[in-house]
Amino acid sequence: MRVQLFATCLVDTFFPETGEACVRLLKHFGVETAYPRGQTCCGKPPNSAGYAREVKLAATRFIEVFDGSDAIVVPSGSCASMIRNHYPELFRDDTRMAAKAQAVAARTFELTQFLVNKLEAHKAGLKGRGKITYHSSCQLRRELGVKEEPLSLLQSLQGVEFVPLPSEDRCCGFGGMFMAKLPEVSMAMADEKAASIVETGAEVVTGCDHGCLMNISDALRRRGAAVQAKHIAQVLAEEL
Amino acid sequence: MIGIKSSLAFRENAAEAVRDSSLRSAMRTATDTFTQLRSAGMASFPMDEWRDRASEIRLNVLNSLPDYLDEFSRNATRVGAVVHRARDAEAARDIVYHLLKDRGARKIVKAKSMVTEEIHLNQHLEVRGMEVVETDLGEYIVQIAGEAPSHILAPAIHKNRRQVGRLFQEKLGVEYSDDPKVLTGIARRVLRNEFLTADAGISGANFAIAGTGSLALFTNEGNGRMVTTVPPLHIAVLTIEKIIPTLADFASFVRLLPRSATGQPLSSYLSIITGTRKPGEATGARELHIVLVDNGRTEILRGECREILKCIRCSACMNVCPVYRVIGGHAYGSTYPGPMGIVLTVLLDGMENAHPVLDASTLCGACAEVCPVRVPLVKLMNLLRERRVEAGFTQSAERTFMAGYGMAVRSPKLFGLGQTLSRFLWPLLERVPGNMTLPRLPKPVKSTFKRRMSGQ
């Protein structure tokens, strides 16, 4: 099997190790990763800020670059939802583009969605390390409906003690541009999230979106907590 | 009045609210309680089915609103009410004021009503020499504190019991207590006398039933029933979209509204008021006037955000909103806070007067997930953000960034250049005074994932 990896701009710019973990993980399950070199950003930032023109530019570019019929794997719930749920709506007035957007949307999977539903990775006996809790990110959960997949993967990890996070589905305050527009509010929200993470006694908090994890990591650092925020790809690929 | 802030200063209001630790803890406790009660009240019911049905009824009303309003007016008139139509806030205030003035009314008791907040009715009557007493406990608290409600159901949600105790001590001259039972008892004694001596009662309505000409009021304190039945004159003020076609349709909302609001299977009181006191009846107003207020609704109905008019004011969206939870209701500087408030405020007050409140959401979707009538709140907030960009109400730095983004997103070379540039400028940008974003982010790496995948 072969997939196309859309690494996302956050992984490309800040967290290349997460991208490498995705490749390792997929390889472990016999999946070859193609990395379309022309990829940039999915258009989520202008989308949530209301810049419709820029969203269309990003989507058009994405649809061109991710040509073909292989599944597109994305290590982010919000980017995957952008492609799956928002792309088809963008081109309602352009039947040719709408059809292409539909096709790309149908081929797109968030990483854990793909790992569980296509590869049954939760039954593969992967190994991990330490005491881990999980933050359920908003678009992943509410727009893509991915709730159980990450949990079943984490709970399947041998050598990991999984502890649930109270109010795991409450927004951490990242929200893309929200973080920059209302920094005090964003930090207050992240602080509360960090407090409940510390309370679980976990050594690692994981999730499927680097946006949230970045925000949470900052709140943990400000609080002086030793808890690490790690993308789920890295947690799953830890012992590979 | 304290607590009356401007929507245009939303950013500053929100930053200030975040620093208020007693507000933060009051909001946390109250919204957690509401959310837990709601979840418990909803469990084991076919919620999706109920919500579909309720949404369908509301859409049907909106699609034929003028006809339903005529039907309601006809039937309400038939049972003895006088129906007035007010195009805007000024017309509504005028109608109410003259009704009261013509009958020599001096003292008015009020049941909770958000539309009278929207049209600033109390101030209008007070400066004309009338005494207006709010009788919902929370509303009474904010009234004597000289504040505005910060929640559409629990107006004093931002206050803890110690603050209420001190307020009562100061304003009512009673001994300090922070026991909610004692405080409620005090308010009850004061208000009992007001009910008995009032010349008129003003209420809102949760729904108006077209088929019977009835008004429906859900309350938990019984004050609504006192306001609408004890004084000789009852004036009900409501916005035009509150119509429900029939009593049978109304049943859908009886099961949904209290459950969505407080998790109760039914509020402590449900009044269905059909006309005036009939011969032989012991209670009920002798005169009933119903003021149907448009104040921008017809305009909203014609637009792309019309689904916001499905809203039944249950407050579930604000109770689950992680932003509202942190900043409370006053920061929005509007009558209606929270997600439904963001949408409604921009539509009612105009983009130029309200655009900053559009930032009061992470678009997390918790609101739309609980809405009992399936208002697509995230979609509407996002749509209005697009309109804001088109209307030019975003900051120039943001527009410049987005223009750059638009170019870079099409060209991997330019995109890569942007990454390299940001890596070099990062240490400088990080130190720009007031930059509260960059210091919270990790630094861009030299060896991007793309480079690694290309073996560079």
**Would you call B15 and A179 a contact, using CB atoms and an 8 Å cutoff?**
no
- What are the residue ranges spanned by the domains of chain B? 45-298, 400-453
Count CA within 13 A, CB hemisphere, residue A47.
23
Q: Angle at CA B357, nearest 5°, toward B356 and B359?
A: 80
Q: What percent of chain A has pLDDT over 70?
A: 100
> Which of A171, A187, A222 to mutate against chain B (most B CBs within 10 Å)?
A171
For residue A168, CA distances in Å to A197, B316, B369, B406 come to 9, 19, 15, 34
Q: Which domains does chain A have, with CATH numbers?
A: 2-116 (no CATH), 121-237 (3.40.50)
| Mean pLDDT, chain B cut into blocks of 10 residues (456 residues total) | 77 97 96 95 91 98 98 98 98 98 98 97 98 97 97 96 97 96 96 96 98 97 95 97 98 96 95 94 93 98 98 98 98 98 98 98 98 98 98 95 96 95 93 89 95 87
For residue B396, CA distances in Å to B49, B253, B390, B402, B433 come to 46, 45, 13, 10, 18
B6-32 pLDDT, tens digit per residue, is 999 999 999 999 999 999 999 999 999
- List the single residue in B with minimal CA-CA distance to A178: B362
What is the Cα–Cα distance from B107 to A23, expressed in whole angstroms?
A: 75
Name chain A contacts of B387, Cβ cutoff 8 Å.
50
Beta partners for A204?
A132, A228
Would you say B269 and B224 are in contact if contact means Cβ atoms under 8 Å apart?
yes
What is the Cα–Cα distance from B430 to B215, expressed in whole angstroms?
A: 58
What is the pLDDT, as a whole number, of residue B2? 46
What is the Cα–Cα distance from B82 to B98, expressed in whole angstroms?
A: 14
Q: Which CATH class is domain B45-298?
A: alpha beta
For A61, which of B382, B385, B410 is closest by C-beta distance? Answer: B410
Name chain A contacts of B441, Cβ cutoff 8 Å.
14, 214, 218
CB pairs under 8 A between A and B: 166
What is the pLDDT, as a whole number, of residue B8? 96
Q: Mean pLDDT, to the nearest integer, of A186-192? A: 97
| B322 and chain A in contact, CB less than 8 A | yes
Model ipTM?
A: 0.97
What single letter denotes the amino acid at residue B99? L
Positions of E strands within B256-389: 269-273, 287-293
The per-type count for chain A, helices as H runs and strands as E runs, is 14, 8
A99-115 pLDDT, tens digit per residue, is 999 999 999 999 999 99
> Which of A79, A89, A142, A184 to mutate against chain B (most B CBs within 10 Å)?
A184
What is the Cα–Cα distance from B170 to B149, expressed in whole angstroms?
A: 20
What is the Cα–Cα distance from B88 to A5, expressed in whole angstroms?
A: 55
Instruction: Supply the pTM of this predicted model.
Output: 0.96
A221-230 pLDDT, tens digit per residue, is 999 999 999 9
Q: Mean pLDDT, to the nearest integer, of A36-43? A: 97
Which tokens is B202 given?
């003003």
What is the Cα–Cα distance from A151 to A135, expressed in whole angstroms?
A: 10
Which tokens is A32 given?
């070859």
- List the single residue in A with minimal CA-CA distance to B419: A13
What is the pLDDT, as a whole number, of residue B5? 85
Beta partners for B6?
none
For A138, which of B14, B365, B408 is closest by C-beta distance? Answer: B365
Q: Mean pLDDT, to the nearest integer, of A42-53? A: 97
What is the pLDDT, as a whole number, of residue B1? 45
What is the Cα–Cα distance from B33 to B351, expressed in whole angstroms?
A: 34
DSSP A123: G
What is the pLDDT, as a whole number, of residue B4? 67
Exposed/middle/buried for residue B424 (C-beta within 10 Å: 0-12, 13-18, 19+): exposed
Name chain B contacts of A169, Cβ cutoff 8 Å.
366
